[in-house]
Amino acid sequence: MKMSAKGSFGALLLTAAMSVAAFPVDVTSIDGKFKNTKDENGNTVSGEGSSLISWGNNNSQSSYEFNGASPLPIQVTNTTEFNLGTLTHTNNQVTGPTLTSTDLAITLGFSGFGDTGTQGGMFEFSHTETPDAGTNWECVFWIFCWDKKNGPVDDIVAQTGASVTSSSFILGGFEYTLELLGLTTDGSTAENTTRSYDLWAKLNASAVPVPEPGTLALLGLGLAGLAMARRRKA
């Protein structure tokens, strides 16, 4: 039992030591593009494939814009969350089909220990365009209610998913995976205002497994045999 406890404690120390040794890592580039945009009619909105999308008539439009965190590089010193950029929502009174959902494709570049790597992912958002002349109610215990104010209602921004779309990458002797966290909470933007929402991510790291001596010996014998076979053919 004591040996097992010592072994577990030693493994924890080793894991912690490797985690510390795997950092710092620099984020060298951040790119974000809106994809799979969809309005009420099932069509894409203006700006599909760019960092800025908009909808509504030409005189008054609402929009989403992604801006990567700056200045670069951003130094990531451990596995805690870091800010990768902001999602800015401009909410104006619009006419015509409005946005219902969009994805935000993110690609990050990393460098560390003399190596470079990239990894990408996808945020999924739903958008609720509320009435520009809605009714707000004042209630007591939701029994007695009266119309307090007629006017615009805040639009709702909600994250419905986040996933990594590319494989892990290796810097030095460590393997890294990007974990997309996104919004800390769903948000709302008042009419005729602009609001920015921070997007978050984290890096997980583990040591690249080193082949055991027996594996290396077998690999060496295999390479030697291959070389001899080639000499005989020659």
Please, what sign has the CA dihedral across residues 209, 214, 219, 220? positive
What domain count does the chain have?
1
Domain limits for position 75: 2-233
Sorted by sequence, the CB contacts under 8 Å of residue 176 that are 6+ apart come out as: 22, 25, 110, 117, 119, 168, 169, 170, 203, 204, 205
User: What are 57-92's pLDDT values in tens digits?
Assistant: 878 899 999 999 999 999 999 999 999 999 999 999
pLDDT at 12: 44
Model pLDDT for residues 1-25, shown as the tens digit of each residue: 455 544 444 444 444 555 679 999 9
Between CA 96 and CA 75 the distance in angstroms is 44
- Asked if residues 147 and 132 have their Cβ atoms less than 8 Å apart, the reply is no
Q: What is the mean pLDDT of residues 96-113?
A: 97
pTM for the predicted model, two decimal places: 0.77
Q: For residue 206, count CB atoms less than 10 angstroms from its CB and return exposed for 0-12, middle for 13-18, buried for 19 or more.
A: middle
Mean pLDDT of all residues in 128-132:
77
